Amino acid sequence: MGATASSGMWKTGESAQEQGLGYVPDAYQVPLRDRPSLFPDTVTVPLIDLGGLWKDAVQRSLVIKDIGNACCRFGFFQIVNHGICQTVMDEALQAASSFFDSPTDEKMKYMSNDVHKPVRYATSFKDGVDKTQFWRVFLKHYAHPLEHWMGQWPENPPRYREKMGRFCAQARKVTVDLMEAITEGLGLGPSYLTSKMEAGMQVMAVNCYPRCPNPEVALGLPPHCDYTCLTVVLQSSPGLQIMDLEDCTWKSVPKIPGALQVHVGDHLEVLSNGLYKSVCHRAVLNSERTRFSIASLHSLGLDETMEPAEELVGAQGKKYRGSSFRDFLNFLAANDLGKRKSFIDTLKINQ
Ligand code: OGA
Ligand code: NI
């Protein structure tokens, strides 16, 4: 890696991706072996119609089975008929886009590299740190309970709170429904996690990936797994790739109108004692348009420990040690996302 982020190649205060540079500075160029293929195979990921969850017992059990199979095979699926109307989704993406369009001063109010902050804006620009940078700008904020956190979200654009808040509440409802279906499918019963999820966390990662002049050499987000139980993602255009567990290659996820993406996170892998897989994924770039995504990340409370369910441990014993969301934040503060070590690997026992 040649230049560091602090070498003065571009104006200070704003990252290359925010400035719309016509080239990709060295610090953003990922090592050759990690460069993305922008047009790999498109994977036929399961598309699950959630409408069947509320029809009758037979339909419900079929949907639950499909969800369970997808969690084993990919740790990933897409959903339709999830109950969030198109207007709510479109308005949330609009709110995100207008936030990133706001004057720099406005965004700077929330700028922080402290991963423990409940509301923060950041680019991958860390002054003086010599490591690969990613072509992403993001706003993260807590969202549950909504009344508690909303007052700390950006005041501008003026309808940001209202539009994003509506999406957060509905994404949460979908996640509760999905968790009930998942724990039911695991044989733990639908309310196994309900009260812990109610007391749990919802973190929104509102991502902006500006157009990139040379998308072959940079990444929006490096390969990672989410620490969550479940993540529900809304995107404005395609750009997500997932690691196919069967042949260990990257696959593009197609954009299906109206669909949301669902990622199994580390804590669901732990709960299922390894039966379900936390999906490894990354975000690739394009030179044509800015892409937005809104990830709704759901986990138990900050200090609530997630452990393998006793009912699923069996003769092999526990494959993972317990951990909390706070443990993950401490891991994140000490280990950069771009590094190869992942949180789930630190939880595995004797594997
Ligand atoms: C994330 C994430 C994917 C995307 O925010 O954790 O994986 O498509 N986002 O932006
Ligand atoms: Ni992710």
pLDDT in tens, 251-300: 999 999 999 999 999 999 999 999 999 999 999 999 999 999 999 999 99
- Give the per-residue pLDDT at 133: 87
Residues 7-30 pLDDT 10s: 334 445 578 888 888 888 888 899
Ligand 1 in reach of 281 Cβ (< 6 A): yes
Residue 104 tokens read as 């720099």
DSSP-derived letter for residue 27 is G
Residue for token digits 């990672």?
224
Length of the chain as a residue count: 351
Ligand 1 in reach of 221 Cβ (< 6 A): yes
- Name the closest-CA residue to atom 10, ligand 1: 293
- Write the Ramachandran bin of 159: left for phi over 0, alpha for psi from -120 to 50, otherwise beta: alpha
**Which whole number is the average pLDDT over 55-64?**
96
At residue 264, the 3 state secondary structure works out as strand
- What distance lies between CA 45 and its chain's CA centroid? 17
Q: In what order do the strands lie in the sheet with 201-209?
A: 47-49, 76-80, 260-264, 230-235, 291-299, 201-209, 137-142, 119-123
From 135, 203, 221, 224, give the residue whose CB has the most ligand 1 atoms within 8 Å, as the site to mutate: 221
From 140, 231, 241, 253, give the residue whose CB has the most ligand 1 atoms within 8 Å, as the site to mutate: 231
Residue 167 tokens read as 């999406």
CA distance 261 to 78: 4
Ligand 1 in reach of 78 Cβ (< 6 A): no
- Give the per-residue pLDDT at 2: 35
Q: How far does residue 56's CA lie from ligand 1's centre (Å)?
A: 34
Q: Do residues 236 and 293 make contact, with C-beta atoms less than 8 angstroms apart?
A: yes
Half-sphere exposure of 75 (CA within 13 A, CB side): 30
Q: How far does residue 239's CA lie from ligand 1's centre (Å)?
A: 9
**Which whole number is the average pLDDT over 37-44?**
75
DSSP-derived letter for residue 202 is E
Measured CA to CA in angstroms, residue 208 lies from 2, 45, 220, 342 at distances of 26, 24, 9, 23
Q: How far does residue 281's CA lie from ligand 2's centre (Å)?
A: 6
Identify the structural domains of the chain with CATH numbers, from first to last.
31-347 (2.60.120.330)
DSSP-assigned beta bridge partners for residue 123? 137
Ligand 1 in reach of 285 Cβ (< 6 A): no
CA distance 294 to 96: 8
CA distance 70 to 3: 43
Residue for token digits 């909303």?
150
Ligand 1 in reach of 293 Cβ (< 6 A): yes
DSSP-assigned beta bridge partners for residue 320? 348
The closest alpha carbon to 262, from 223, 296, 237, 239, belongs to 296
Average pLDDT over the chain, rounded to an integer: 91
Ligand 1 in reach of 207 Cβ (< 6 A): yes
Amino acid at 101: D
- Name the closest-CA residue to atom 9, ligand 1: 295
Ligand 1 atom having least distance to the Cα of 291: 10
